[in-house]
Chains A and B, each alone.
Chain A
Amino acid sequence: MSPDIWQPLLLSLKVALWATGLNLLLGVASAFALSRWRSRLGNLLDAVFTLPLVLPPTVLGYYLLVLLGRRGAFGAWLEHWGINPVFTWQGAVIASTLAAFPLVHKAARAAFENVDAQLQSAARVLGLSHPAVFFRVSLPLASRGIVAGALLAFARALGEFGATLMIAGNLPGRTQTLSVAIYSAIEAGDEAGAATLVVVASLTCIAVLLLAGRLTRGHAPQRVA
């Protein structure tokens, strides 16, 4: 019995793209803020933001479940608004976003710190507003690092398993991502099916990363000799 490939594949792509997009917003914002705000508290926050890499994904998923489940403090409030992310693809996005967040944050922070401060000062002196300096100087100069982080985040999100299984469950056609489908195939003793899914996941990740590499090559600022 060969498992259905398309549904888990498309779901995984959807979840990983959402997680990457969200992390681009969140990770760039947190990285930029912390690259500016150098203090002990800032360093502590930076360390806290790295925790998703340290904690086992199942543990991460368990705390997400406790927080966002109907019985959790935040989950009860969400339920009040008719939102329950448990056993939904949005839950999978939350799990993947959290798991991949440190990869964007760390890469973007290093990139922002490598931007020549004099260029930013010069832009200010020449009359650009703070947001304009960010969008026209800092962000373009940091973009290589940010893109590298985002690509890692995409790969991480595509492979996310432990936290996803906890909060999104393993509902075929609804929350069964490629990674979860591989687990289910192994549990069912269907090794050929699992191998097929592994090939699909690997090829997908390679294809998307190659494509992203091509798309972003022209956009990064060129080094001036």
Chain B
Amino acid sequence: MKQSTRRCLALLFVLPMALTGTTAFAAELVVSAASSLTNAFRDVARAYEAAHPETHVVLNFASSDTLMRQIVQGAPVDVFASADQAAMDQAQAQGMLAAGTRADFAANQLVLVLPASSAAHVDSLKDLLGARFKRVAWGNPASVPAGRYAQRVLERAGLANALQPRAVLAQNVRQCLDYVSRDEMDAGFVYATDAALARDRVRVALRLDSPTPITYPIAIVADTAHASDAESFRQFVLSADGQTVLAKYGFLKPP
């Protein structure tokens, strides 16, 4: 018994070690991309690898702010794709971007979504003041870019104060989408790409023009050891092929 348990313990340690070795590729490109790009960039990376079989793209998804902090602290990242200009601005201010490589590669749109089961009819944002809308969700403007866009749109419509008592502020845009798709909220503000992911659970009631365009910047990290691969990946994202993949996930062309 004693020996067998010891063997069992040893196996428990050794097995994970043995099985998690990594395959070596000729060139490995680490791309840090905002988590809202998860599906789109997985596809982009697959398409890129198909065209460049010598390169392996390693995707690192997290919030744009987390990715920016990792890069600023010297994490080995080659390309940064942010969902938000502010995070890219900070990386640039810290001198982390290769000069002349920053470009907008996609745009998004803010939409008002209702639960799929909702019978409400919405013609304009003013309709949110109706008795039917008891709770409306958007991202916390202090920390969620989508929430900042929603706040600005509501302020421009002169509704921000009137809606405040009904507001539920979400910690990220996906949480906001989740609230609405579970019928916990009567309406919510999310990106068009999020709404497209939950097509069967939410209904897009309004497409909104944001006072500031919602654009996604990409850039090469100054410290990269794979400058030419990084540039070729960046070019691919901006190319017609890359844009086709992004469009499939509801991203728009940058203005």
Contact = CB atoms under 8 A, between A and B. Distances in A.
A196 interface: no
Given A187-B36, A215-B5, A66 B73 contact: yes
Interface in B63-102: 66, 69-70, 72-76
B198 interface: yes
A70 B74 contact: yes
B20 interface: yes
B120 interface: no
Given A10-B16, A66-B73, A174 B39 contact: no
Interface in B5-51: 5, 8-9, 12-13, 15-17, 19-20, 22, 30, 32, 35-36, 38-39, 42
Contacts of A10: 15-16, 19-20
A188 B39 contact: yes
B16 A13 contact: yes
Interface stretch (A39-47, A105-113, A119-127, A165-173): A165-173
A43 to B, nearest CB: 33
A166 B20 contact: no
A198 B13 CA distance: 22
A89 B20 CA distance: 10
Contact of B74 (A86, A169, A173, A184): A86
A188 to B, nearest CB: 4
A189 interface: yes
Contacts of B69: 62, 65, 166
A57 interface: no
Contacts of A159: none
A170 B74 contact: no
B73 A86 contact: yes
B38 A65 contact: no
A69 interface: yes
Interface residues on chain B, size class: 20 to 34
Contacts of B62: 165, 169-170
A11 B16 contact: yes
A72 interface: yes
Contacts of A173: 20, 22
A187 B35 contact: yes
A165 B72 contact: no
B205 interface: no
A5 B75 CA distance: 26
Interface in A182-196: 183-184, 186-189
Given A165-B62, A189-B197, A6 B35 contact: no
Contacts of B157: none
Contact of B75 (A6, A58, A69): A69
B61 interface: yes
A202 to B, nearest CB: 18
A69 B74 contact: yes
Contacts of B30: 87, 171
B20 A7 contact: yes
Given A10-B16, A72-B73, 4 more contacts: A10-B19, A58-B66, A86-B75, A188-B42
5 contacts: A65-B70, A70-B75, A84-B74, A165-B66, A173-B22
Interface of B: 5, 8-9, 12-13, 15-17, 19-20, 22, 30, 32, 35-36, 38-39, 42, 58-62, 66, 69-70, 72-76, 174, 197-198
